[in-house]
Amino acid sequence: LPTVFSTPSFFAMSSEPSLKDVFANKIPVWQKEIKDVKQTYGDKILGTCTVEQAYGGMRSVKSMVYETSLLDPVEGIRFRGLTIPECQKRLPKAKGGDEPLPEALLWLLLTGEVPTQGQTQALIDDMNKRAPLPEWIEQTVLNFPKDLHPMTQFSMAILACQRESHFAAAYQKGMKKTEYWVHTYEDMLTCIARLPRIAGLPI
């Protein structure tokens, strides 16, 4: 697979396609699939909704396309079609570990594919490079009132990261809509990578 929109400063050299490469190559396929489905079935009715369902939180109402997971009342949850036992069996694990690495599950959710051990390690290395927080954000969090709710502090720290947003910077420069995903992807991975550090700051 060709390298598309690669980011050399974040990705380690590898002969295997990175998460961003795989994701980039899937986007046009997914776009065509969605376009075909809408053209073929756009006027079809998915179901009905009763007043009771509307008041009850739209339970069992088919009203949104959501592909990353499916919660079945009998089988339980599936991630991209895989049950939890299947994920435990197929996804890469840490050396000596019995459970899938979270980075491997992230890869599965984003692409629908099971990554190799090498691809998983490359993603781990990438996220470790993204993880450090700017000093000013750490100091901001440390200066919060001690009686401020932890989730409020957590949310405010995440929002503060917007100052370094790839998407915000590119948007101000007038990027094309076809490039939205590129910068959203960068912000998404950086945000996820920083969460443990944000959560681990003393409060």
Query: Which pLDDT tens digit goes with each residue over 137-188?
Result: 999 999 999 899 999 999 999 999 999 999 999 999 999 999 999 999 999 9
3-state helix vs strand vs coil in the chain, percent to 5: 55, 5, 40
Greater pLDDT, 36 or 68: 36
Flag whether pLDDT at 101 surpasses 60.
yes
**pLDDT at residue 70 in the model:** 86
DSSP state of 113: S
**pLDDT at residue 131 in the model:** 94
State the Cα–Cα distance between residues 21 and 30, nearest whole angstrom: 15
N residues, the chain:
203
Q: What is the mean pLDDT of the chain?
A: 88
**pLDDT at residue 184 in the model:** 95
Q: In 49-195, at which residue ranges do the beta strands (DSSP E only) sit? A: 69-72, 76-79, 82-83
**pLDDT at residue 14 in the model:** 57
**pLDDT at residue 8 in the model:** 38
State the Cα–Cα distance between residues 94 and 99, nearest whole angstrom: 8
**pLDDT at residue 12 in the model:** 44
Give the number of other Cβ atoms within 10 Å of residue 84's Cβ. Answer: 13
pLDDT band at residue 4 under the 50/70/90 scheme:
very low
**pLDDT at residue 5 in the model:** 37
| 66-71: long-range contacts, CB 8 A cutoff, minimum separation 24 | 67/112, 68/109, 69/109
Predicted TM-score (pTM) of the model is 0.81
Give the distance, in angstroms, between the CA of residue 193 and the centroid of all CA atoms in the same chain: 11
